[in-house]
Each structure stands twice: as structure tokens, then as C-alpha cells.
Amino acid sequence: MFASDMNPARDADRVTNAGMVLFPIQFTWPHGGRSVFICGSFNRWAELLPMSQVEGTPNVFQAVCAVSHGCHEYKFLVDGEWRHDEPQPHKNGEYGIVNTFEAQHVPAQVPQVQPLLDVPNNMDVNTGLMHRISAVTLNQAMLRISEEDVQACRHRISVFLAAHTAYELLPESGNVVALDVDLPVKQAFHILSEQGIASAPLWDFSKGNFVGVLSALDFILILRELGNHGSNLTEEELETHYFCLERGKGIHEPES
């Protein structure tokens, strides 16, 4: 069990993985329990990682953690109690008795990945052998993306976004409400209200393309423009007033 003065915040700066190559290491707890977690120096003793029960072997729990090469210490939290795996290498450390292991660095060009041990349901588990195999043999370095690839990807995204506008991307986004430029003003307003959306792209069938985006502000501008020109439309006339009548005034055209 950990010493009573254990303080994860105090140990947060003890180990850092910045700039290090990490390896996926599989840990195994073969002594049963209802809930099992693992914590160790590889995650700065700051996080409890849940372990999953192995199908067909209810007493065996496993978890894969990313660790740097070198010597590490770890313990298991089983049903709320800190424990260590006695058959495995262990020592009396700052946090009580802890298990230990050493992850050897293997060059990426010579990967040495050992297959996991498959345990039939009707066979006893050799816990010592399984733990030794699963703990330190998965030494293949995790795939890392170079800085050049990251910058190239960002550049391609920037070029694409610079060459397109928002309403050109809308048809590929799934559920999209688009309005015909020949819709009456009042009907378009009711559609936005019923759909609960603040804006919608405008589709021009004659051009076969989106020509702008309609928002609530456009309705205000249209009504104000009509008022400035002395057009006192009745409610019935507003129902038959089309956006196409306002196209020449540039009310709903997108900003350049």
C-alpha cells in the first residue's frame, strides 16, 4: 500500500515524457477482483488507469499503457486497496512495496513485437510467464508524425479553406436547410423559425449554385429597403414578395 504522505501533485515533475519515444506495454493483474486500476511512475503516479477483465478468465485484468524506456515502478488498486503482484519483481520504495520492470529500447528499424499469450478458457493461467511476456516485450515504438507532415497538412487545409466559402461546404455537412431565391420573403422567414436556425444558404436554380446566405438581419434590411422606397406592403402582398425582386439591390448577397 502507498505511504500515507503520497502526494501526486508533488511528484508531477518527477518524470516527463516530452521528447521521449513511448512504448505500448501491457500490464496484467492475475489475482481477481471486482475493479482493478493501475498507477505508476510511467504516468507520474498522478492517474489511475482502469484495467479490463479478460474474456474467459475472470480473475485476469489487463491494461495497455504508454511508457518510456527505462526502469519503472507501479502498483495496482484492487477493490479500493493498494496491492502489488508478489510473484513479479518488486521492492520496498517510497510508496511502500511496488512492482518494478525495465522497458528496453528497441530501434524502430528492427521491431521486436512478440505475440500476446492466448489463454484457452479450460487451462490454468501461468501468471508469472504471462506477466513477464506482456510487461516488457511490446517494444515497438508508437507511430510518430513528423513536423514536416504536420506543416504540409496544415498548408493543404489552409489552401482549401482560402479557395472556398462557407456556403459552398454546406452540402457536404449532412442535414442542411437551403432556401430557393424564388421563395416569398414571409415563407422563408417562417421556414427559418420552424427549423430553429438563424441562417440558411440561398440556392439559385438558374445558376445551379449557392449565391449567398440568408439570415434574420436580411429580413430587417429587406423590410427597411421596402420602407425607404415607399412600399407599404400588406401581409398578403408580403407573402408574394420574392427575394428575386431584391437581388438587384444586393441585400442578400454574401460579402466579398
Query: For 152-202, what is each residue's pLDDT tens digit?
Result: 888 888 887 787 666 555 555 556 778 888 888 778 888 888 887 888 888
Cβ(42)–Cβ(74) below 8 Å: yes
CA–CA separation, 33 and 78 (whole Å): 6
Instruction: Note whether 176 and 128 are same-domain residues.
Output: no
pTM: 0.37
Both 32 and 131 in a single domain?
Answer: yes
Same domain, 195 and 130: no
Residues 46 and 124 reside in one and the same domain:
yes
> Quick one: which of 205, 199, 211 has its CA closest to 246?
211
Whole-number Å distance between alpha carbons of 189 and 160: 32
Check residues 7 and 208 and name the one with the higher pLDDT.
208
Q: Are residues 48 and 123 in the same domain?
A: yes
The bridge status of strand 70-78 relative to strand 36-40 is antiparallel
Q: Summarize pLDDT for 11-24 with one digit per residue, the tens.
A: 333 344 455 677 78
Give yes or no: residues 127 and 50 share one domain: yes
Distance of CA 228 to the CA centre of its chain: 52
pLDDT greater than 90 at residue 38: yes
Terminal-residue alpha carbon distance, the chain: 67
The CATH code of the domain that includes 225 is 3.10.580.10
User: How high is the pLDDT of residue 118?
Assistant: 52
d(C-alpha 93, C-alpha 102), whole Å: 16
3-class SS of residue 221: helix
CB count, 10 Å around CB of 169? Answer: 14
Residue 49 is part of a domain; what is its CATH number?
A: 2.60.40.10
In this prediction, residue 98 carries a pLDDT of 93
Task: Tell me how many domains the chain contains.
Answer: 2
Domain that holds residue 70: 22-136
Please check whether residue 17 lies inside any domain of the structure.
no
Query: For residue 248, what pLDDT is reported?
Result: 40
175 and 128 part of one domain: no
Residues 178 and 126 in one domain: no
The answer to the question of residue 15 being in a domain is no
pLDDT attached to residue 110: 44
- pLDDT, tens digit, for every residue of 104-163? 765 544 445 555 445 455 445 455 544 444 444 444 444 567 788 888 888 888 887 787
Tell me: do 29 and 116 sit in the same domain. yes
Say if residue 85's pLDDT is above 70: yes
Q: Is residue 5 assigned to a domain?
A: no
CB atoms within 10 A of CB 251: 19
Confidence at 254, pLDDT banded by 50, 70, 90: very low
